[in-house]
C-alpha cells in the first residue's frame, strides 16, 4: 500500500519514559519534514474535531548502542535524512540547548538513543538491519 516506510528506533537500555519521550520527539521531526503524511481531522460521533495523524503506519524498533550507531551511519552513507536524539539532550530544557549539545557530538559516538527515518521500504529495511521490534 505504501512505497515508503517510517521507522523509529530507540536504544534498548532506556527507561520507559525516555523511550516514549524520544519516540514523540522523533515522530515530530518526521511529520515536520513530510507534511504530506498527515491526514484529515478526525471527528467523533458527536462531531467533535480531533487533530489529524499520520496516514502511514510507523514501525518502532529497538537496539543496543552499536546498532544505533550503525543505523545512523548507514542512513547517512545512503543520503537518507534522519531525526536523531542523543543522550545528552535529556539534560537540556529547550530546543536551542538541544541543538547546542547535539553540535558537540559526532555520529560515531555511542550516545544516539533514538533515530527516525522515512524512505523507500527496502532501503529502510537495509538501514535498520540489526534492530528488533520493540516489545
Question: What CATH code is carried by the domain that includes residue 127?
Answer: 3.40.1490.10
What pLDDT sits at residue 135? Answer: 76
Does some domain include residue 41? Answer: no
Does some domain include residue 48? Answer: no
Estimate to the nearest angstrom the gap between the alpha carbon of 14 and the chain centroid.
15
Confidence of residue 1 (pLDDT cuts 50, 70, 90): confident
Joined grid coordinates for residue 117: 527515518
Q: What is the pLDDT of residues 12-31, one digit of tens each?
A: 999 999 999 999 999 999 99
Q: What is the mean pLDDT of the chain?
A: 96
CA dist 92 and 96 (Å) reads 9
Domain that holds residue 124: 4-35+53-133
Judged against a pLDDT cut of 90, whether residue 51 lies above it is answered with yes
Does some domain include residue 59? Answer: yes
The domain tally of the chain equals 1
Does some domain include residue 107? Answer: yes
Outline where 78-131 has alpha helix (H): 95-103, 121-127
Joined grid coordinates for residue 114: 533514538
Amino acid at each position: 500500500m505504501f512505497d515508503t516506510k517510517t521507522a523509529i528506533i530507540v536504544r534498548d537500555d532506556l527507561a520507559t519514559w525516555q523511550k516514549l519521550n524520544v519516540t514523540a520527539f522523533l515522530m515530530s521531526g518526521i511529520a515536520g519534514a513530510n507534511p504530506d503524511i498527515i491526514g484529515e481531522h478526525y471527528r467523533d460521533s458527536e462531531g467533535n474535531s480531533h487533530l489529524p495523524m499520520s496516514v502511514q503506519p510507523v514501525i518502532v524498533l529497538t537496539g543496543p548502542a552499536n546498532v544505533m550507531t550503525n543505523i545512523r551511519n548507514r542512513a547517512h552513507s545512503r543520503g537518507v535524512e534522519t531525526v536523531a536524539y542523543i543522550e545528552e539532550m535529556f539534560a537540556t530544557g529547550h530546543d536551542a540547548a538541544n541543538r547546542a549539545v547535539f553540535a558537540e557530538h559526532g555520529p560515531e559516538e555511542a550516545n544516539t538513543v533514538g533515530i527516525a527515518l522515512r524512505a523507500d521500504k527496502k532501503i529502510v529495511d537495509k538501514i535498520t538491519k540489526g534492530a528488533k521490534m520493540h516489545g
